[in-house]
């Protein structure tokens, strides 16, 4: 099983009865037993439910029936996504008594396609942070070094995929929360175009910026999962595979490449060289208002989060971790006028990213300015430049939540210390499948194959 690389390979193996869903599910559960506690990746493991679903999937195969493209595949869910009858903790003591009444729409779609839900993964409390340090269940540890953060907020999801505790995971991304941990842990993460995947049954953070998407082993898996999760029919059908010589990628160098760890810069420049050698044209593009992304982001995201949490934070402020409570409380002071000013700035950013994409097929940039950071770090220093850990981790991703453009991270070859580095591609709004086509072209040239 470990030699099968993609979900499509795995389901083919199920269909030919070379391997069973039960054995693959047991293998994932065994990994959870071995390394789940050390990484703290899971909040709830649904072992009995998963094994029952896997056996049912095997029985259906024996009867000649396949439910869909995820038939029998073990998948984890960030614990912010409702599964009927199971707690949705959002990694917060606020939700200690919660049990979901209904499945989220995406859970219905996953199970309709045959997925085996194996468990619910740890996250930054209420998805309000990019490190996973703040969780009522404790931080998520990086699989390569327990002193390092997994990145967040979908940190448990990234670790579950990176270590083979699940074949894929579904996370959410409001400022980079799929792409950041995916990059830090060395897996593929897709934030689809805004609105492509429904958020019904997913605990909101910021309704203007929330996206749902997969973390997985390859671009092919991301495509397969997107087709299951998406509300957007693939009416165009398969488009011609892009040829490297006909592809033009734009790199926004100002702001985005100003502060990078040397290992990240080296990996990115090497990826650019490989793409040029393969015939891809690389241009420099400009997004001048990108420098104003952070104020725009924080004024929209914190105001919307504060609105959602207002009643609970008044009744039970002590149930939040202190850093989350403080941010939500401060968000309640945001004036409507400044919120709307940020929304107006958002339109400017949309226009500028659209303009940058007008002359190229996709944007190309690193996903994170740094590799995985120590758990509990407050700041990041790069030469003479120092910034808060939150701001640094969000620096290269949050723009595309503000604008809604689809964005994907894939691992590049790791640093000399063996730490993963993420390469980010950003596509045109409403064109997630086209972005996936381009990512499939880039992956064998500049990517790094998955291994766990």
249 binds another protein, rule: CB under 8 A:
no
**Which CB sits closer to another protein, 359 or 376?**
359
How many whole angstroms separate alpha carbon 211 and alpha carbon 195?
A: 7
The contacts of residue 407 (CB under 8 Å, 6+ apart) are 179, 190, 191, 397, 400, 424, 425, 426, 427, 435
What is the closest distance, in whole angstroms, from the C-beta atom of residue 239 to another protein in the complex? 25
Catalytic residue among 150, 153, 157, 294: 153
| Binding letters toward another protein, positions 325-344, x by CB under 8 A | -xx-xx--xxx-xx--xx-x
The contacts of residue 86 (CB under 8 Å, 6+ apart) are 44, 46, 99, 100, 120
Angle ∠(177,183,184) on CA atoms, nearest 5: 90
Question: Could you confirm whether 135 is annotated as catalytic?
Answer: no
Catalytic residue among 177, 193, 208, 294: 177
DSSP letters for 378-391: -EEEETTEEEEHHH
CB contact at 8 A, 51 and 26: yes
Angle ∠(255,301,193) on CA atoms, nearest 5: 70
Catalytic residue among 21, 76, 78, 120: 78
CB-based burial label for 108 (10 Å; 0-12, 13-18, 19+):
middle
What is the closest distance, in whole angstroms, from the C-beta atom of residue 317 to another protein in the complex? 8
Alpha helix ranges (H) inside 43-197 = 47-62, 105-112, 155-162, 179-185
What is the closest distance, in whole angstroms, from the C-beta atom of residue 177 to another protein in the complex? 19
215 binds another protein, rule: CB under 8 A:
no
284 binds another protein, rule: CB under 8 A:
no
The contacts of residue 73 (CB under 8 Å, 6+ apart) are 7, 10, 11, 21, 24, 114, 115, 116, 167, 168
According to CB under 8 A, which residues from 357 to 396 bind another protein?
Answer: 358-359
322 binds another protein, rule: CB under 8 A:
yes
What is the closest distance, in whole angstroms, from the C-beta atom of residue 333 to another protein in the complex? 4
415 binds another protein, rule: CB under 8 A:
no
How many whole angstroms separate alpha carbon 331 and alpha carbon 383?
A: 32
What is the closest distance, in whole angstroms, from the C-beta atom of residue 64 to another protein in the complex? 55
286 binds another protein, rule: CB under 8 A:
yes
Binding segment for another protein (CB under 8 A), chosen from 57-65, 112-120, 187-195, 323-331, is 323-331
CB-based burial label for 241 (10 Å; 0-12, 13-18, 19+):
exposed
**Which CB sits closer to another protein, 67 or 348?**
348
CA dihedral for 234, 220, 226, 372, sign (positive or negative): negative
Binding segment for another protein (CB under 8 A), chosen from 18-26, 205-213, 353-361, 413-421, is 353-361
**Which CB sits closer to another protein, 352 or 437?**
352
* Single residue of 81, 178, 229, 296 touching another protein by CB under 8 A: 296
What is the closest distance, in whole angstroms, from the C-beta atom of residue 279 to another protein in the complex? 23
Question: Could you confirm whether 78 is annotated as catalytic?
Answer: yes
Rule CB under 8 A: which residues touch another protein? 286, 288-289, 292, 294-296, 298-299, 302, 322, 326-327, 329-330, 333-335, 337-338, 341-342, 344-345, 347-348, 351-352, 354-356, 358-359
Active-site amino acid positions? 78, 153, 177
């Amino acid at each position: 099983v470990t030699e099968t690389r993609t979900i499509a390979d795995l389901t083919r193996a199920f269909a030919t009865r070379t391997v069973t869903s039960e054995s693959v599910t047991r293998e994932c559960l065994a990994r959870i037993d071995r390394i789940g506690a050390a990484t703290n990746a899971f909040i709830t493991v649904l072992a009995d439910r998963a094994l029952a679903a896997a056996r049912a999937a095997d029985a259906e195969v024996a009867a000649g029936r396949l439910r869909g493209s995820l038939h029998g595949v073990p998948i984890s869910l960030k614990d912010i996504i409702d599964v009927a009858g199971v707690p949705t903790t959002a990694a917060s003591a606020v939700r200690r008594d919660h049990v979901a009444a209904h499945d989220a729409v995406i859970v219905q779609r996953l199970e309709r396609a045959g997925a085996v839900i194996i468990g619910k993964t740890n996250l930054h409390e209420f998805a309000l942070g990019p490190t996973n340090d703040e969780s009522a269940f404790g931080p998520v540890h990086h699989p390569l070094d327990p002193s390092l953060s997994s990145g967040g907020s979908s940190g448990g999801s990234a670790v579950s995929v990176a270590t083979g505790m699940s074949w894929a995971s579904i996370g959410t991304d409001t400022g980079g929360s799929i792409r950041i941990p995916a990059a830090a842990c060395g897996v593929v993460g897709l934030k689809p175009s805004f609105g492509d995947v429904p958020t019904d049954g997913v605990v909101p953070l910021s309704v203007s910026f929330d996206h749902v998407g997969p973390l997985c082993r390859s671009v092919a898996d991301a495509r397969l999962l997107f087709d299951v999760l998406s509300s957007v029919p693939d009416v165009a059908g398969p488009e011609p595979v892009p040829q490297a010589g006909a592809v033009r990628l734009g790199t926004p160098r100002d702001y985005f490449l100003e502060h990078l760890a040397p290992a990240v810069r080296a990996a990115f420049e090497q990826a650019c060289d490989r793409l040029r050698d393969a015939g891809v044209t690389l241009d420099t593009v400009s997004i001048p208002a990108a420098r104003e992304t952070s104020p725009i982001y924080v004024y929209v995201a914190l105001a919307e989060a504060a609105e959602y949490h207002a009643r609970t934070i008044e009744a039970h402020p002590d149930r939040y971790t202190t850093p989350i409570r403080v941010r939500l409380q401060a968000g309640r002071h945001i004036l409507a006028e400044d919120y709307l000013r940020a929304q107006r700035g958002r339109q400017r950013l949309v226009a500028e990213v659209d303009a940058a994409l007008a002359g190229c097929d996709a944007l190309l940039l690193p996903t994170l300015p740094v590799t995985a950071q120590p758990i509990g770090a407050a700041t990041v220093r790069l030469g003479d430049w120092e910034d808060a850990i939150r701001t640094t981790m969000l620096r290269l991703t949050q723009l595309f939540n503000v604008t809604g453009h689809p964005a994907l991270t894939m691992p590049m070859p790791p640093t000399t210390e063996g730490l993963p580095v993420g390469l980010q591609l950003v596509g045109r709004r409403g064109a997630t499948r086209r972005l996936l086509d381009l990512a499939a072209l880039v992956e064998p040239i500049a990517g790094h194959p998955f291994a766990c």
